[in-house]
Homo-oligomer: A and B are copies of this chain.
Amino acid sequence: MIESAAQAARAIREGKLTSEEAVQSCLQRIRELEPKVQAWQFLDAEHALAQARALDERKRNGEPLGLLHGVPVGVKDIIDTADMPTENGTALHKGRTPREDAAVVKMLRGAGAVILGKTVTTECAYFHPGKTRNPHNPEHTPGGSSSGSAAAVSAGMVPLALGSQTAGSVIRPAAFCGVHGFKPTHGLIPRSGILLLSRTLDHVGLFARSVEDIAVLLETLQGHHDLDPDTLPRARIPFRDLAAEEPPLEPMLAFIKTPHWQRTDADTKEAFQELVETLGAQVEEVELFPSAADAWDWHRTIMEADMAANLEPLWSKGAAKLSEKLRALLERGRETRALDYQRALRRIAPAVDSLDELFMQRYDAILTAPALGTAPKGLGATGDPVFCSIWTLLGMPAITLPLMRGENGLPLGVQLVGRKGYDARLLRTARWLEKKVGA
């Protein structure tokens, strides 16, 4: 099993491991666990091995090697791949074969990664579950919508995977599956070639088993793309180096319970109480600004209106083939007033400004729960994104760390949220926190 992508990349570079061996190791793990976990929507072992052999050949020829040369990566099945189907989790896109790779897939290939296969998504990255189960207990949901990516990384089938988050689709499944999940600042990673739900809310997200691996992947995927109007041409940020630095001062965390804390389960309340005690003077409880209580409504209004507009082709061609839950969302979205939609959109910038003050004054990151508790039992639902949607709305970077466990033995995550645009500092703070609690 490939534990760390960064280590595997080093070993390949130094000739101690071949990409073919790395892929074989992943395939072996998949053969063992896939019958139970069901993380993959599409996987052609021969095609993965062919990519690996070509990369090994390039290394033997002395060609320059990318950051992820030879390392296998799983890709959520709403992200277009030119050499594998991309079905967006809906029967309406069965057998859909894009002509072009998504921008992030091109970036991965440019860095030398092996696209191992496509991971299961819920229907159109919304709530209706796919087939995937939680690797820690197959009777529990892996969370969604990036269910397969979270489960595959958790089960050791692949060291890295890509997902997406429009509400809580990266942070929640990562927490439920006990892996690292990261959602960058809005606009840092281009979304061209990925099923569009909402320009304002959609983010590419990352799954890995360490902060270091998140940093390697983020360094690879940052960038401008002409077809993503929210990305900008800018200097590349050396996320690996910055994340590895020691903080110049011991970080301060703002523990924000949000108006939804009373809904968290007993495990979460207890675990966070202990964590706050452990952190002592480095954490302070902080209240959100008063109108933040409405942020969940703003998020819902924007998501419903945008999904109704962006999924209109699906709606027109086959509303009857959509799940009841998605159909209901689209029906609500079709009736959303432009006035309410615009009102919600214009709340984002002032809310980000309010939170900026928190970071400028005193804090390095916000500390909060990633979900209501451990992964709920049952496979009919993927859990509640309530602890993510406000940070998604505001486009702030967020990471969940698998630092705790519930009474039932299932993982409990710790979510850190950073200042918008300060992703490297968030990763640095996350590493500090892991050391601090002895992870």
Hey, which bits of chain A sit against chain B, CB under 8 A? 305-306, 308-309, 312, 333-343, 346
Contact = CB atoms under 8 A, between A and B. Distances in A.
A162 to B, nearest CB: 27
B338 A340 contact: yes
A234 B236 CA distance: 23
A340 B343 CA distance: 16
A425 to B, nearest CB: 25
This chain: copies in complex:
2
9 contacts: A305-B339, A305-B342, A309-B338, A309-B339, A334-B337, A336-B337, A336-B339, A337-B337, A341-B341
Q: Which of A309, A312, A336, A338 has the most CB of B within 10 A?
A: A338
Q: Is the interface of A mostly helix, strand, loop or mixed?
A: helix
Given A308-B339, A309-B346, A312-B339, 16 more contacts: A305-B338, A305-B339, A306-B342, A309-B342, A309-B343, A312-B343, A333-B339, A334-B339, A335-B337, A336-B337, A336-B338, A336-B339, A337-B338, A338-B338, A338-B340, A338-B341
Contacts of A305: 338-339, 342
A208 B305 CA distance: 44
A335 B334 CA distance: 12
A194 to B, nearest CB: 18
A309 to B, nearest CB: 4
A305 B333 CA distance: 16
Q: 5 smallest A-B Cβ distances: which pairs?
A: A305-B338, A338-B341, A309-B342, A336-B338, A338-B338
Contacts of A306: 342
Contacts of A308: 338-339
A343 B336 CA distance: 13
Contacts of A346: 309
Contacts of A338: 305, 308-309, 333, 336-338, 340-341
A187 to B, nearest CB: 14
A337 B333 CA distance: 9
A305 B337 CA distance: 9
A306 B341 CA distance: 11
Contacts of A339: 305, 308-309, 312, 333-334, 336
A129 B64 CA distance: 70
A298 to B, nearest CB: 13
A309 B308 CA distance: 20
Point out which of A312, A339, A343, A346 has the most chain B C-beta atoms below 10 A from its C-beta: A339
A109 B116 CA distance: 62
Contacts of A342: 305-306, 309
Nearest to A330: B339
A197 to B, nearest CB: 13
A321 to B, nearest CB: 20
Contacts of A333: 338-339
A312 to B, nearest CB: 7
Pick the most buried of A306, A336, A340, A342: most chain B CB atoms within 10 A of its CB.
A342
A338 B300 CA distance: 13
Nearest to A342: B309
